[in-house]
Structure 1
Amino acid sequence: MKPGKSSARIEGRGERAAATRPYLTDIRVYMDSHYHEQLTVRQLAERVHVSPKYFVDLFKKTFGQSAMDYLTDLRINRAKRYLSEPEPLLLREIAQRVGYKDEYYFSRKFKKEVGMSPTEFARSSKHRIAAWSPDMTGYLIALGLTPLAAPLDPKWTAHYYYSYRKKIRYALKLTDPYVTGTFEENADLMARLRPDAVVAGDGLSDEQQDTIGKIAPALFVPTSQELGWREYLRLIAVFLKRTDEAEQWIRGYDKLADEARIQSEAALGDDGILIVRLYGKGLYSYSNRGMEDVLFKDLNLRQVSSGKQSAPIRPEDIRALDPSRILVLVCPESESRAYWLALQHSPEWKTIEAVRSGNIYPISADPWLEYSPVAVARMLDEAMLLFTGKCPNAFLDHVHGGSLPADL
C-alpha cells in the first residue's frame, strides 16, 4: 500500500473515532439507566452506528475498560446497594432488578466480582467503608470502623493524619474550601478501590452524589439539617448495621460528660465563657454546633455572646461584655497566627479583665471546627484540660484502640 493512502486511511480512522467518542459518553449514560435490561454489544454499537468490533475497541480505548465490564460494574454496585438495605430483597428480585435472569447466575457472577456470595456480603459488617469528608471519618471510628479511604492532611486533619494514616490505607485529598484536590481526583481513586460503601455529607451536588452512588452503595448524611451528632451517628449505624456500636459510644460519652459537668461546675462556678475566632487580620464572635453541644449543653457552662455570630468584634466590645474566660480559635495559617501574636501585645487587648486574669485559652481548628462523635469527645477532653487541668482521655484511648466499652 502506498504511504499516501495509508496515512489517509489512518487519518480517516482518527477522525471517525473523534466523531464517535462524544456518542460513547451518551452510551454510558444510557447504560447507567438501562443496566437492568438485556444489553448486548451489538445493540449498543447500533446506537452509535458503528460495527460491534469497532465499538468494543473504541469503548475500551476511551474509558479504560470494556463496555461489558462497565455494565457488570453497574449491576454489581447496584446489587450491593440492594443488599446493604436494612431489609434486603430476595436474591431473585435483586437479580432481576439489576439485569440477570436468575439468582443462580447472579450469585456466581457476584462472587466472582466481589470475592464473596451475595448472602455473605449482606451479612458482613462491611469493613471496606470510605469516608468522603473528614467529619465522616469521626463517625466511622466511633462505630469501630477504620475507613478504607478518607481525607488526610497534616494541617487541616492533624488528628486523623498522625493517629490513623498507617491504618487508613488510602488518603483522599481535601477539596473545597481547603482546595488541595478535586472531586474528580477522589472519585477516580474511589472507583479503583471499589469500596463496599461510602459515607458522605449532603453538601455535594446531585451530579456528584450520582457519581458516588455509581461507585458503591452510598449514604448522604443530612448534615445540612440541624440534627445532633447522636442522630447522625444512628443514621450511619443503621446503614452499616452497627446500631449496637452506636449506642455503646453514646452511652460512654454521656457518662463521661456527666462526670465532666460536675468537675467543671465546681471549678468554674458561674463564670461566663466567650468564644472568638481570629481569622486573617480580623476578630469575630463565634460558636458552632460542636462548641454549643460540649460547652453549653453537656458541661452546662454559661455562654457570653455579643448576639451576632461571626460578626466582627473589637477588644472594647469584649471588655463591655466582661466575660470571665475567653476561648480564642486561631485559624492555622500564617496571617492569622501573626495577627494573634500582635493582638496579644496591643494595649486594647491587655485592658480586658479576662486577659489580665490569665483566662485566655487558644484553641485550634482541629477538633473545634469538626462536628463528629470523635471531635466532640476530643473537645470534651480539651475543655476539661483547659478549665480544670484534668483530662479524662478515656475516649481517646479507646478510640485509638478500638471500640468503646459500654460501661466506660
Structure 2
Amino acid sequence: MSDREKNIKNTEYASLEGMSFKLRKMEHIQNQRNHWELRLQFMESHMILVAASGQGWLTIDGKFTELRQGSVYVCLPGQLVEAAAHSFDERGFYHMRFDVMEDDGSSVHTMQIINRNSPFPVKGELVVTSPVSINALCESICQCLLDENHLNRFRGQILFQEMLHTILQNALHAQGNDSEAALEYVKGYMEQHYQQELTIDHLAKVAGMSTRHFMRLFKKRHGCGAIDYLAIFRIKQAQQLMRIGGQNRLRDIARHVGYHDDIYFRRKFKQISGVPPAAFMKNSSQKIVAYNASNIGQLIALQVNPSAAPADHPWTDYYKRKYHMNALLPLSSNVLIKREEIRLASPDFIIGVDTLVPADEQAMLKEIAPAYFVPWKDNDWRIHLRLVAQFLDKTAAAEAWLEAYDRKALFVSEQVKPAFKNDSLLILRITGERYHALGSRSLGTVFYDDLQLTPPRGVDRLKEDQQLTQAQLADFDADRLLLIVDEDSLSQASWRTLMNSEQWRSLKAVRNNRVDFLPSYPWVEYSAFIHELMLDEALKLWRDRA
C-alpha cells in the first residue's frame, strides 16, 4: 500500500476516536425449526448479521448476496435492505442493531446519533479470519444482555465494542492488500456510470492513482483490465434489455449502455457473448424449459433465461431473486401436472437429463416440443454444456463461455495460492448420517482440477463421493476442511454430533482454524454456471487470507 493510501485509511479509522457505539438490539436464532426474515426496508440504524450457521440471502440496495457461514454483513442507515435465513444449528444466527454516535465538537461534548451518511468505515460482506472468535463473542454478548445484573449487561456493551474492533481489524487487513478499497470503489463507480464515456485516465483519477499503477493493480485484482471489465458489464446490461423484449432497436440499446459506434458495439457484443446481437435478440424470445434442476446451470451459462424450472429446487427461487425473473414458471414435482404445465406453456424447446426422465416420459415430452435429454453418466460437465449448446444451436456461445471460465479459473488459482501454499483440502459433505469426501463429478472438479488445489492423502479422485466414517476423518490428515451440511434435520443432527466430538476437535484443520463452510445448495450442483459461481466463492473464502 502506498503512503497516500495508508494516509486515507488512517484518516477513515481516525474518525473512530470521535464516535461511540451502543448495541440496541440483539437476536440469536438457533435450531433447525427457526426461520428469520427481514422485510424490505430502508435501514434507520446500523445493522450487523453474523452467519454462524444456516443458509439465506441478503439484498443491499438491490445487490443480491447469498449468506455464507463464517461471514459478517454490515448494513448502514439509508440502505434498502431485505434478508432471510433458515436451517440454523446451535451456533445460530445473530442479528444486531446498533447506534453510532459522533461528538458534535461542542464544549459540552454532546453526542449526535448518526442516521444518514454514516462514517462507519465498513459495510457489506466481510469474511473474518476467525469465525470461531466472532461466534464466541456473540454468544458472550447474548448471555450478558440477558443477565439481570446491570454490571454484566454493561459488560455486554464492552464485549460488543471488542467485536466491532475485531471486525474493523479484519476489514483493515483486507482493504490494505493491493489497494482493494480503491479498486472496489472504481469497480462500483463503473457499474453506476457505465452509460457515460469512461477512460483509463479518468478511472485512475477516481482511484487516486497514476494511470500505469491503476491499470496494473486492477488487472491483478480482477483478472482483466478496467476497460475490459467495463465492456463485459455493458454487454451484460445490453443482454438484459434484449431478454426483456419490447421494441428496442439495437442502436438504442447500444446508446443506452454507452456505445455510440454501432459497428464497434456489434463486434464487442459478439466477442463477449459468442453470437451477434441480432441473433441474441432473436434467441432471447425463445421459451426453453429446464426440466431438471441441473439444466438451469447449463442454460444460464449459454445466456438463456429458462422460461420454466422445477419449483421444488432451491435454484429456482434463487434464480428468480438474483435475475428478477418474475415470469419464470415454477414446475410441479408431480410428473403428470408438470407435463401439463409444460404443454400449456407452449415452449420452443425442453432440456432434461436422461437418467432422471424415464423413456416413456421423454417420448411424451417430445410430442410437446423438440426435447433433448443430456447423456449424463458418460460425460463431464463441459461435454454436458457443449451437447446442450449443439442442440440449441448455441455452440459459439458455449465455447466463448468455456474460454472465459478457464481464464477465470487460472486467475482465481493464482489469487488463492498464497493462502494455501502446499496445504491439502478435504471437501466434506454430511448427508444424513453419512460423511462423503467429494471428488470427481462434484465440487472436487473445481477445486482439484481447475484450481489445482491438493487433495489430502486417501481421497479417491476417481469417485464422485467417497463414503467414510467419523473415525476415518483423522486418517486424511487434511490441512484445510471445506464443510457442506445438508439442510435436513438428520444431516444437521449428524453435524452437531461431529462438532461436539473429541475426534472433531483433534483434527488438524480444526485445531488450526482452517475450516470453512458452504451451504448445500446450489453449490453441490454439477453444472457449468454453478462451477463459475464456485470460483467467486473461492475468492471470498481464501483471497487475502495468507
Which TM-score band (shorter chain)? 0.5 to 0.7
Matches within 5 A, 1:2-401: 124-125=282-283, 127-153=286-312, 155=314, 157=316, 159-164=318-323, 166-173=325-332, 181-203=333-355, 204-225=357-378, 227-304=379-456, 306-307=458-459, 310-388=465-543
Instruction: List structure 1 segments (4+ residues) > 6 angstroms apart after TM superposition.
Output: none
SS at match of 1:375: helix
Decide whether the 8 Å contact of 2:427 with 2:444 is kept in 1. no
Contact 1:367-1:378 within 8 A present in 2 as well: no
State the alpha-carbon separation in 1 of the partners of residues 340 and 518 from structure 2. Answer: 36
**What is the CA distance between 1:377 and its match in structure 2?**
0.6
Structure 2 stretches of 5 or more lacking a match? 1-278
Give yes or no for contact 2:315–2:522 (8 Å, CA) kept in 1: no
The percentage of aligned residue pairs carrying the same residue is 31
TM-score using structure 2 length: 0.45
Q: Post-superposition shift, 1:291?
A: 1.5
Residue by residue over 1:35-55, the C-alpha shift from the partner in whole angstroms, topping out at 9 and shown as x without a partner, is xxxxxxxxxxxxxxxxxxxxx
Of Structure 1 and Structure 2, the greater helix share is in: 1
| Equivalent AA in structure 1 for residue 431 of structure 2 | Y
Contact 1:285 1:305 in 2 (8 A): no
Residues 115-148 of structure 1: per-residue CA shift (max 9 Å, x gap):
xxxxxx9x95262111101111111111111111
In 2, the alpha carbon distance for the partners of 1:343 and 1:140 equals 38
Q: Which residue of structure 2 aligns with residue 21 of structure 1?
A: none
Q: Distance in 1 between matches of 2:515 and 2:437?
A: 15
- Tell me, in whole angstroms, the C-alpha distance in 2 between the residues paired with 1:153 and 1:163: 17
Task: For residue 306 of structure 2, give the secondary structure of its aligned residue in structure 1.
Answer: coil
Deviations 1:143-183 (A, max 9, x none): 1111111113464655325324634421113xxxxxxx222
Map Cα deviations across residues 335-357 of structure 1 (whole Å, 9 max, x no partner): 21233133212222101111111
- Work out which structure has the larger RCO, using CA pairs closer than 8 Å and 6 or more positions apart in sequence: 1
> Given the superposition, is the C-alpha separation of residues 144 and 386 from structure 1 closer, same or farther in structure 2, using an over 3 Å criterion?
same
- Who is 1:96 aligned against? none
Mean Cα deviation higher: 312-321 or 329-338: 312-321
Cα drift, residue 286 of structure 1: 3.0
Match of 2:208 in 1: none
For residues 12-40 of structure 1, what are the alpha-carbon distances to aligned partners after superposition, in whole Å with 9 as ceiling and x for unaligned?
xxxxxxxxxxxxxxxxxxxxxxxxxxxxx
Which residue is equivalent to 2:3? Answer: none
Q: Alpha-carbon deviation of 1:224?
A: 2.1
Unaligned runs of 5+ in 1: 1-120, 174-180, 391-408
Q: 8 Å contact 2:350–2:369 — kept in the other structure?
A: yes
Moved more, 278-287 or 319-328: 278-287
Residue by residue over 1:44-67, the C-alpha shift from the partner in whole angstroms, topping out at 9 and shown as x without a partner, is xxxxxxxxxxxxxxxxxxxxxxxx
Displacement, 1:311?
Answer: 4.9
For 1:213, the aligned partner's letter is: K
Instruction: Give how far 1:198 is off.
Output: 0.6
For 1:39, the equivalent position in structure 2 comes to none
CA distance in 1, matches of 2:452, 2:316: 28
What is the rounded CA distance, in whole Å, between the counterparts of 2:380 and 2:466 in structure 1? Answer: 24
Residue 329 of structure 1 aligns to a residue whose secondary structure is: strand
Contact 2:289 2:306 in 1 (8 A): yes
Q: Give the 3 Å change call, closer, same or farther, for CA 153–260 of structure 1 in structure 2.
A: same
Distance, in Å, in 2 between the alignment partners of 1:154 and 1:217 is 24
Aligned pair in 2 of structure 1 residues 143, 311: CA closer, same or farther (>3 Å)?
closer
Partner Cα distance (1:267, 1:213) in 2: 50
How far apart are residue 274 of structure 1 and its match? 1.1
Distance 1:389 1:158, change over 3 A: farther
* Aligned mates of 1:287, 1:186 — CA distance in 2: 33
One-letter code aligned to 1:159: Y
2: CA distance between counterparts of 1:283 and 1:258? 30
Amino acid at match of 1:355: V
Retained in 1: the 8 A contact 2:412–2:538?
no
Q: CA RMSD in A?
A: 2.4
Q: Is the 8 A contact 1:146 1:168 kept in 2?
A: no
Please state whether the residue corresponding to 2:522 is helix, strand or coil.
helix
Task: Name which one, 1 or 2, has greater alpha-carbon Rg.
Answer: 1
2:439–2:459 Cα contact (<8 Å) kept: no
After TM superposition, give the deviation of residue 318 of structure 1 in Å.
1.9
Mapped contact 2:293–2:315 kept (Cα < 8 A):
no
